[in-house]
Structure 1
């Protein structure tokens, strides 16, 4: 965040009901709406970082993504293909960096793009990578020592009436829960939509908005049902209970043909049907880390606007409901609704259906880009196959047998009360994990284990109905349906023998 952004302030006109201490709505030009829309362009990892940097220990936890970010920060650099691979995840870039650089108030502190190019050689054009500290070369069979240059994004000064995401000179009405309406709707229709019976007691006040207020508003989007009202009236919000969690039962996205499923071993305490931890291989860990690079608008797109975070869902719905003419261009609306991931940040076998950003003509004309997005790692973040111990709240550490034994001993859980449940994670399960990670601190239970336990109960109920009442059977194992089949065949065989006798 630049000093210019820190010093800049503008005035927001707000209508309040002084008697009820309630914000009715705010009236704004494109400046304030641009900033609201910029929230959707921020990657989840960047949001966690910005809130932690500004609010410190008072920063709200965003579900389990905050724990995931801290686990990433504490991970050994040697586990990654390069330091820049880890930095890419800790400081994820936005596909809207150019646009965010034009905002009068920007939450982004993106650094100028670094270009890593190969050493001097006889080939006319340098081979360049913008993601990692090495680049492959058409001449050299091995990587030469790299040098770096920086390319400062050009910031275009915008007049007050010029929009970045919103159309120039457009004016808007913003409700206390961040619904956005064009002023052209008229006061009577807007009052009807917002449920305002009368405005006899309404009073107009001017509110100065600077960087501090915008950061507070971003925080309130995750913890308040009425973020604008809480900001204007300086309320101290208690953490908002998320909307009831529902799994992703239906998705419009189709899994890629032949896509490989990830395997997760969930270690469960049998007596309590409680998840203790999960054993994850590197592909699942890379998937979890990749959640941090998804822009907030991309999360809304993947979950069909049902993130269970009210403020974010309403903001996303406002973008969908506004006509194209209120945006800088129709393509801008589409980009906000379905943002791409920054070019080169997606690892091999990425499971979520988000596109990668295309390189600009200027970039393609200026450089020959390295074909290796992930040097040494064949499209990976992690340098080597490594198993992790993942907790329900997405806290994770490299797997150590000694630490797992100590964990069970501390919990006073005997080995006989523990079993492994093997779960395959495809697109549907990945979306469930993303949704749970936004609001829950029991992600793996909510997204995966509960459905496994429900299926187990359904199988057990069907088993009883099939055999008949009063039948004693051996309980099937969670880990394999073959145990159930074997039990069923054995009991039927025994029953036939008794009948023959």
Structure 2
């Protein structure tokens, strides 16, 4: 840890092609690679929030994803069933938060997950399962608040993602490889470099603000390290990438989830989707994008317009498990999951993280004349396995997690209330729909009525993934994502 008043820094060496002022590759150890890999664990809502931070670069927007995030901020609280719904979307949790917090520099400012049990636990313990919440202001079945904080029992000591003594090389577009002579020669060959005198070495020390900039460049650059460290910032390659490639049909396994019926309004002369209208399930589905970890997109056809993210994920998949702190860490990257209890919709076939199954507690006895007159809880914790306990003072019982979208132990139905209809613009601005809002939008666009076309479509897994992919790089997420349905 850095001393009080000082800022953590990470050192790495850059190999620079002097004539072109371009980074060929960087050499770094555990600390920098932990930072890079942590990007894959960040929920998209966290990325949208972090990108708005002031750093060397100006606060940035991540295409339509930022519009979606701002929509949640702007929606009236009356649109949400509970206050927790909005909190979950604006501050989505990271299923690998414990690993990220142990990294030397962690840019995820989301509050750590907390666990709460009934403040009247001494009574409720006798009627298992014990009800637990990961959010404040929830009530127990007995009517008392779930306000007593407890900690998960863990025997793990988290130390980032990769081994301490590892050494890596990172290419300009963020592909990561173990340091080896063969790989160095291949990178130099691919760069067309024969004369080693053309290369210079630079040492840089990275601050937290530069890590934020690094994340921002992931979404707009194909030469991330060059733009970050050699001050070639300001170049936005997204339009180039959009022209170079198109989203192709996703090779995805179908699921049994029913499609979401949506009405889209197009401009006939251009084929551009002006807006879409759908029920609460459509708004819920779009809002779930904010809870999805970045690495999960790579399981759904990848990020067609964000090369560095695809390259980073492939680096993790190809990296031998011996380089990771544990085999489990690599598995968590390769098959990412949502934070526990954040799964809402089955359309994208993502899985929830696990929650502890058992609640354990230790009692203190209060005696008077050899008679027990009072019991108090001395210690309690959560555990994934049933513990064998001894004596009447220690017990381990089943736990049940209160669904954060609900005020009861039953699963919540959605982030927003129905039966409201929601209007979604091409750049994923979500608002409650009304006749006035539709007319106002069309008037602002100044499009003649004869150039408008309505069409009813079904949003299935492929359509959902395409919109999700487009949201990271385009302000026309609906047009780009649903182009195969509008021809």
Residue 275 of structure 1 is matched in structure 2 by: 273
Uncovered stretches (5+) of structure 1, i.e. residues with no partner: 455-501
Q: Deviations over 1:260-287 (max 9, x none)?
A: 2101101234455443321121001001
- The 8 Å contact of residues 85 and 404 in structure 2, kept in 1 or not, is answered as no
Q: Deviations over 1:225-250 (max 9, x none)?
A: 11112222122231112343433413
- The 8 Å contact of residues 116 and 133 in structure 1, kept in 2 or not, is answered as no
Q: Deviations over 1:449-481 (max 9, x none)?
A: x32332xxxxxxxxxxxxxxxxxxxxxxxxxxx
Residues 50 and 272 (structure 1), Cα distance of their counterparts in 2 relative to 1, 3 Å cut: closer
Residue 316 of structure 1 is matched in structure 2 by: 313
| 2:405 aligned to which of 353, 374, 377 | 374
Q: Give the TM-score normalised by the residue count of structure 2.
A: 0.82
Residue 496 of structure 1 is matched in structure 2 by: none
Residue 188 of structure 1 is matched in structure 2 by: 185
Q: Do structure 1's residue 398 and structure 2's residue 432 form an aligned pair? A: yes
- The 8 Å contact of residues 52 and 61 in structure 2, kept in 1 or not, is answered as no
Q: Deviations over 1:334-355 (max 9, x none)?
A: 21122110010112x4311211
1:168 Cα offset (Å): 3.1
Q: Do structure 1's residue 383 and structure 2's residue 417 form an aligned pair? A: yes
Residue 493 of structure 1 is matched in structure 2 by: none
Q: Do structure 1's residue 357 and structure 2's residue 353 form an aligned pair? A: yes
1:253 Cα offset (Å): 2.3
Residue 408 of structure 1 is matched in structure 2 by: 442
Q: Do structure 1's residue 134 and structure 2's residue 138 form an aligned pair? A: yes
Q: Distance in 2 between matches of 1:72 and 1:179?
A: 34
Report the RMSD for the aligned CA atoms in angstroms: 2.9
Residue 373 of structure 2 is matched in structure 1 by: none
Q: Do structure 1's residue 88 and structure 2's residue 88 form an aligned pair? A: yes
Residue 444 of structure 1 is matched in structure 2 by: 478
| 2:160 aligned to which of 161, 164, 167 | 164
Residue 45 of structure 1 is matched in structure 2 by: 45
Residue 435 of structure 1 is matched in structure 2 by: 469
1:5 Cα offset (Å): 10
Q: Distance in 1 between matches of 2:13 and 2:446?
A: 60
Q: Do structure 1's residue 420 and structure 2's residue 480 form an aligned pair? A: no
Q: Distance in 2 between matches of 1:91 and 1:371?
A: 19
Q: Distance in 2 between matches of 1:339 and 1:331?
A: 11
Q: Do structure 1's residue 329 and structure 2's residue 326 form an aligned pair? A: yes
- The 8 Å contact of residues 113 and 150 in structure 1, kept in 2 or not, is answered as no
Q: Distance in 2 between matches of 1:108 and 1:356?
A: 20
Q: Distance in 1 between matches of 2:486 and 2:204?
A: 52
Please identify runs of 4+ aligned residues in structure 1 that moved more than 6 A: 1-6, 152-158
- The 8 Å contact of residues 97 and 112 in structure 2, kept in 1 or not, is answered as no
Residue 73 of structure 1 is matched in structure 2 by: 73
Structure (1 or 2) with the greater helix fraction: 1
Partner SS for 1:253: coil
Residues 417 and 246 (structure 1), Cα distance of their counterparts in 2 relative to 1, 3 Å cut: closer
Residues 306 and 123 (structure 1), Cα distance of their counterparts in 2 relative to 1, 3 Å cut: closer
- The 8 Å contact of residues 15 and 25 in structure 1, kept in 2 or not, is answered as yes
Partner SS for 1:200: helix
Residue 369 of structure 2 is matched in structure 1 by: none
Partner SS for 1:58: coil
Q: Do structure 1's residue 230 and structure 2's residue 227 form an aligned pair? A: yes
Residue 24 of structure 2 is matched in structure 1 by: 24
Q: Deviations over 1:11-43 (max 9, x none)?
A: 212222333322222211111111111111111
1:411 Cα offset (Å): 4.0
Residues 57 and 398 (structure 1), Cα distance of their counterparts in 2 relative to 1, 3 Å cut: farther
Q: Do structure 1's residue 149 and structure 2's residue 183 form an aligned pair? A: no
- The 8 Å contact of residues 152 and 356 in structure 2, kept in 1 or not, is answered as no
Residues 444 and 132 (structure 1), Cα distance of their counterparts in 2 relative to 1, 3 Å cut: farther
- The 8 Å contact of residues 63 and 437 in structure 1, kept in 2 or not, is answered as yes
Q: Do structure 1's residue 62 and structure 2's residue 36 form an aligned pair? A: no
1:315 Cα offset (Å): 1.3
1:193 Cα offset (Å): 4.6
Q: Deviations over 1:204-235 (max 9, x none)?
A: 22111121221111111111111112222122
- The 8 Å contact of residues 319 and 333 in structure 1, kept in 2 or not, is answered as yes
1:393 Cα offset (Å): 0.6
Q: Distance in 1 between matches of 2:60 and 2:463?
A: 26
Uncovered stretches (5+) of structure 2, i.e. residues with no partner: 358-381, 387-395
Q: Deviations over 1:126-153 (max 9, x none)?
A: 411114632453xx4xx54443537599
Residue 197 of structure 1 is matched in structure 2 by: 194
Q: Distance in 1 between matches of 2:271 and 2:199?
A: 55
Partner SS for 2:219: helix
Q: Distance in 2 between matches of 1:208 and 1:424?
A: 50
Residues 315 and 271 (structure 1), Cα distance of their counterparts in 2 relative to 1, 3 Å cut: closer
